[in-house]
Amino acid sequence: MDLTRLWKSVLAEIELSVSKATYHTHFAHSELVALNGDVASIGFPSPIMRTLAETRYYSLIKSTLDHKTNGNTSLVFTVLPKKEQEGADAGPLFMQPVEAETSALMQAKRLHINPELTFDNYAVSTTNQLAYAAATAVAKTLGGAYNPLFLYGGVGVGKTHLMYAIANSILMVRPTLKVVYCMGEEFLNEIIEAIQSKTARQFKQKYRGAQLLMVDDVQFIAGKQTAQEEFFHTFNAVLREGGQVLLTSDRPPHEISRLEDRLRSRFEGGLIVDISPPDFELRAAIVNIKSKALGINVPSDAAQLIAANVVDTRAIEGFLRRLATELSARPQPVSPDLVSSLLNTKSLVNLQTKPTKRVSSQELLDAVSAYFEIKTTVLKGTKRDRPIARPRQVYMYLAKTELGLTYDDIGGSLGGRDHTTIMHGVETITQELSTNEPLRAAVAGIKQKLWATSS
């Protein structure tokens, strides 16, 4: 096998998956040194680059190489002999971005910021386009674009990802920038600890001296008088010195109860952006991005099936990790049938991010009946006409994926139907959700009504 030609083919595919700067910094000077059986030895110009490749890009390299060789390779990273790196002026110019990224990586880890969450791997659609544009603008002109930038939305819509992406982007250029990141609850706890340990001065120096202050879930400080008082002065101090403030919340400032008016006014003084739940197309893109990061090759039909049935970003990642575990135990190509089998297991219920409410099968029957404008007695009846059979199958699907009922329990709630009939109904809806937009709208509408009316 021609290793040089194979590696060029691998690099060509990797170049399409990462930014231009990342490719030239990490991959352009790498080599496939050897391929013995299923063990690939890959060389990099320096120990720093070898470590970065091993910690950050192992899955990407492995999945791409596996795709090109139709194998299941294990990777070994080495440092190329010095003669391979020598060149007239290449050394210092080439090492500079590597050293900058190493410093940025160390800073991110120190701040508990995930270095893997960047603009490069953030999927964009109409639901988050404005938030993405605002975030990239802030990263380019820190303190000068939108200050503060306030992002809000539900669980798993990508608020924290964008916050981390801003920090990682800035640290690549200015690794010594004083960045402070915390959760709203952490801010509150640190204030309490500072008061108890008489270290209020150090606390103020840490936060008020920030050049980039990022607070996730800022709604947690609402109603806490001391926390709001300190945050008000911290906010003013950072802006006065030209620093940037980034805030996220699960709701806009005017809906945060018990938030002081002066803080609400400050929060509303910049740009407030709503990030909506990801639509089907965005979820499919997220499946592709996350699966590549995990080293899984998910065909488009299987990716669409996942996107149609798993609606939360974090739940998508959880499902893909479960898929990866399944593949490591039983290696096989990812297919719609495999995805369907995993979607139809009880464990999927634990992957979904839903309100912690108890919903009965009768409440679900009522919600489905109301949506399709038919009587619950008809759903439980024996008629098999399509206008009745389809709502009945939707109920079966939701009873399985939303309520976690067994096939026998679902059959019992429908007048004693056989579990094989229920399995068929669940599988039918599961498959059709990836291609049937009206069906997706119906399922989403019923779920929204179900959780909204069961509080």
CB 44 within 8 A of CB 77: yes
pLDDT, one tens digit per residue, over 94-116 is: 434 555 555 666 677 677 788 88
Q: How confident is the model at residue 282 (pLDDT cuts 50, 70, 90)?
A: confident
Q: Sign of torsion, CA 256 258 259 260?
A: positive
CB 334 within 8 A of CB 343: no
pLDDT of residue 19: 67
Cis-peptide into 148, omega within 30 deg: yes
pLDDT of residue 103: 62
Beta bridge partners of 213: 180, 245
Task: Tell me what the mean pLDDT of segment 280-307 comes to.
Answer: 87
pLDDT, one tens digit per residue, over 40-50 is: 899 988 776 77
Give the CA diameter of the chain. 83
CATH number for 129-274 (one of 3.30.70.3270, 3.40.50.2300, 3.40.640.10, 3.40.50.300): it is: 3.40.50.300
Q: How confident is the model at residue 89 (pLDDT cuts 50, 70, 90)?
A: very low
Predicted structure pTM score: 0.61
CB 381 within 8 A of CB 417: no
**Fold type of domain 3-94:** GMP Synthetase; Chain A, domain 3 (3.30.300)
CATH number for 361-452 (one of 1.10.1750.10, 3.65.10.10, 3.30.420.40, 3.30.470.30): it is: 1.10.1750.10
Distance spanning both ends of the chain, measured CA to CA: 63
Give the sheet arrangement for strand 39-44, strand by strand: 31-36, 39-44, 74-79
